[in-house]
Every structure is written in C-alpha cells, then in structure tokens.
Copies of this chain bind each other. A is one copy, B any other.
Amino acid sequence: MPKFVDGYLSYLLAAASERVSREFHRQLRPYGLSVANWRVLATLSDGDALSVGALARIVLFQQPTLTKLLARMAKARLVELRADPADRRRTLVRISAAGRKKVRPLLGMAKAHERACLASYSAAEVAKVKAILEDLLRRSETR
C-alpha cells in the first residue's frame, strides 16, 4: 500500500535527514551532546565568533530558540557570549576551550559517518546530489 509520502521530495529529504542525523546522534550521546549542541559547536569550531542571528541562520534554529540554547551552553561553559563592541545590539558567540576540546574528536567521527553513509556511491553521484541540494538551498533563499 503505497502512501502519499512515497517518493515525495519533502518527505524523502526529511526522512533521509532524520535517519542520518539520528544515527550520528547515537554516537553523540556518550559525549553528553544533543544534535543542537553539536551543530553549534561544529559551526563555531574554526574559532570565529558569530552573532546570534548569523549563527541561527547557519544552524537552522529560530533566533529565540538559539538564544535559549546558547544560555544553556554558556552555563555549561561550552561557549562564551559577549556584546559586540562595534554594535552593542549584537551578542557575539565564541567556542570556549572546553567546547573545542569536547568537539574535536567528534569532527572526525562526523566525517567518518558521512563516508560510511556514502560509501556505496561514486564520487560523481555524491557530487551531483550535493550540488542539487546546495542549489535547492540557494534558490529557496529568495523565496
């Protein structure tokens, strides 16, 4: 009995995303990190400070959600928050030393997980899929 959702783009994307990230989530749990924590730390792992809004757009959270998440992460000493001296409306977020230490082993695990997921596809196939996903994102930015 085929369901409406079968083959429906939105569903395929949601299902694939859910599966892939849930699998990785299982690897994250021993480290005491949620997927949300992971995304924030991974995004900040290069050391640059970002404003709350810029970070929210990258990690796909609404701004109030991220503000509250950051408050919890700051309390856990994973990130540091400070007002932007150049524009005091802004709050800059930076990863802490503890956050960096916590996220470092996970960066490699994430890449390994991706390789495992994609192992049976050719480089061309992977590139094609990623290109279309990136293109979908670019196009939807203006909508």
Contacts and interface: CB of A to CB of B under 8 A. Distances in A.
B130 A7 contact: yes
A118 B9 contact: yes
B4 A10 contact: no
A47 to B, nearest CB: 9
Q: Which 5 A-B pairs have the closest CB atoms?
A: A13-B17, A12-B133, A19-B140, A4-B42, A17-B17
A46 B42 CA distance: 42
Interface stretch (A63-71, A72-80, A81-89, A120-128): A120-128
A51 interface: no
Interface in A15-34: 15-21, 23-24
A143 B10 contact: no
